[in-house]
């Protein structure tokens, strides 16, 4: 088992600044190369406070702001135009970055693409849902209207 300090949020593992233990291969082959974590050491543990302070600064300032954003996100259908074939099948699939760009284009604010979760790959036009983690204790469900780009 490898001990790591997370530098980014990883679903199912933790948030930035958390000290976790994962299997050696998962740490060596995925978390460290992707920049999601750094190897734990006594010296690196000093960085935990800096990481947590940076996370707090990036988080939405108050619970009221987060709840207002949740209401705005859940009350709006976000339109997403993508390249599609004749039968409505997409060329590729909708990524979290596409969703973040569509939310910004709809005037609902900037959302970090790493906080967006798409439960199953979106590969066809129609209405789909995605979840946005606004805070550790608050999530919003976005309704995506995927349409074929002209």
Tallying the residues shown for the chain, one arrives at 150
- Residue that terminates a domain, selected from 36, 58, 80: 58
**Pairwise CA distance, residues 142 & 70, whole Å:** 9
Residue-level pLDDT at 59: 63
Tens-place pLDDT, residues 71-90: 888 888 888 888 888 888 88
Q: Same domain for 109 and 72?
A: yes
Would you place residue 102 in the very low, low, confident or very high pLDDT band (cuts 50, 70, 90)?
A: confident
Q: Same domain for 37 and 51?
A: yes
Rounded mean pLDDT, 89-109: 85
Beta strands in 86-125 (DSSP E): 116-117
Would you place residue 33 in the very low, low, confident or very high pLDDT band (cuts 50, 70, 90)?
A: very high
Q: Same domain for 72 and 137?
A: yes
Q: Which domain holds residue 96?
A: 63-148
Q: Same domain for 108 and 39?
A: no
């Amino acid at each position: 088992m490898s001990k790591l300090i997370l530098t980014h949020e990883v679903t199912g593992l933790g948030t930035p600044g958390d000290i976790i233990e994962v299997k050696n291969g998962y740490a060596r082959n995925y978390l460290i190369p992707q920049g999601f974590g750094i190897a734990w050491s006594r010296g690196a543990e000093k960085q935990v406070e800096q990481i947590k302070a940076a996370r707090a600064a990036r988080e939405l300032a108050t619970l009221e702001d987060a709840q207002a954003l949740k209401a705005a996100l859940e009350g709006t259908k976000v339109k997403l135009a993508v390249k599609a074939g004749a039968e409505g099948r997409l060329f590729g699939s909708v990524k979290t970055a596409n969703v973040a760009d569509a939310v910004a284009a709809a005037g609902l604010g900037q959302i970090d693409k790493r906080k967006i979760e798409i439960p199953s790959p979106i590969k066809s036009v129609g209405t789909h849902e995605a979840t946005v983690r606004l805070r550790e204790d608050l999530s919003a469900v976005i309704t995506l209207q995927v349409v074929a780009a002209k």
